[in-house]
């Protein structure tokens, strides 16, 4: 799992770790039942205080995405994949909404926005189909 923390980004290091792990799970890089890195290991990888990683793990546990198993580590919960996808879809929708609002505020017409979205979709070169299950939120 490649994860980075960048202090020049707006969100706090702890939130960046939460988002990075949600993203890894939603993309399938980390599956249900798989173990997360140790707090100490991930802290050394992304170069932040281990307390920050521990806080991110607690927040993920509160979301129901991961579960701590006493003495053996932190694992992706069975329901975690679904929750992570939902969380990520929610975040992406919020990003899209912000982009559309910014476009409208700059004077883009409805047609221009649609054209622009079509152009971006064409430029990515592939029309991805929805994940096999749990696409709706």
Partner 1 sequence: MTTGRSAIEAVDVRFRYGQAPLLEGLSLSVPTGETTALLGRNGVGKSTLLKLLMGLLKPRHGTLRVLGLDPLRDARDLQALVGYVPDRPDAWPWMRVPELFRFFAVHHPRWNAERARAWTERLGVPLDRSFRQLSRGEGMKTMLAAALAPDPEVLLLDEPFGGLDPVAREEMLRALVGALGERRRTVLVSTHELDLAARLGDRVAILEAGVIRTEGPLSEVIGAGESGAAEALRVRLGSEAGEVT
- At its nearest, how many Å lie between partner 1 and the CB of residue 96? 17
Question: Is residue 11 a contact point for partner 1 (CB under 8 A)?
Answer: yes
Of residues 103, 91, 36, 95, the one with CA closest to residue 68: 36
Quick check: 56 and 18 in contact, CB under 8 A? yes
80 vs 117: CA distance, rounded Å:
31
Q: Smaller CB distance to partner 1: residue 10 or 125? A: 10
Question: Which region among 26-34, 40-48, 87-95, 102-110 touches partner 1 (by CB under 8 A)?
Answer: 40-48
Quick check: 34 and 23 in contact, CB under 8 A? no
Figure out which of the listed residues 22, 25, 39, 56 binds partner 1, where binding follows CB under 8 A: 39
Q: What track of x and - describes contact with partner 1 for positions 51 through 70 (by CB under 8 A)?
A: xx------------------
Question: Is residue 36 a contact point for partner 1 (CB under 8 A)?
Answer: no
Q: Smaller CB distance to partner 1: residue 12 or 64? A: 12
Q: CA of 1: how far to CAs of 57, 63, 119, in Å?
A: 15, 20, 31
Question: Is residue 137 a contact point for partner 1 (CB under 8 A)?
Answer: no
Question: Is residue 74 a contact point for partner 1 (CB under 8 A)?
Answer: no
Alpha helices in the chain (DSSP H): 13-26, 39-46, 50-63, 80-105, 110-123
Which spans of this chain sit near partner 1 (rule: CB under 8 A)? 5-15, 39-40, 43-44, 47-52
């Amino acid at each position: 799992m490649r994860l980075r923390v960048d202090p020049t980004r707006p969100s706090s290091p702890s939130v960046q770790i939460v988002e990075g792990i949600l993203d890894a799970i939603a993309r399938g890089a980390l599956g249900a039942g798989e173990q997360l890195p140790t707090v100490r290991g991930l802290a050394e990888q992304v170069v932040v205080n281990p307390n920050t990683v521990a806080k991110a793990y607690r927040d993920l546990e509160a979301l129901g995405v991961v579960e701590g198993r006493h003495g053996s580590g932190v694992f992706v919960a069975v329901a975690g994949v679904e929750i992570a996808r939902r969380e990520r879809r929610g975040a992406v929708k919020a990003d899209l909404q912000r982009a559309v609002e910014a476009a409208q505020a700059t004077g883009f017409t409805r047609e221009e926005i649609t054209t622009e979205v079509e152009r971006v979709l064409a430029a990515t070169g592939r029309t991805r189909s929805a994940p096999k299950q749990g696409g709706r939120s």
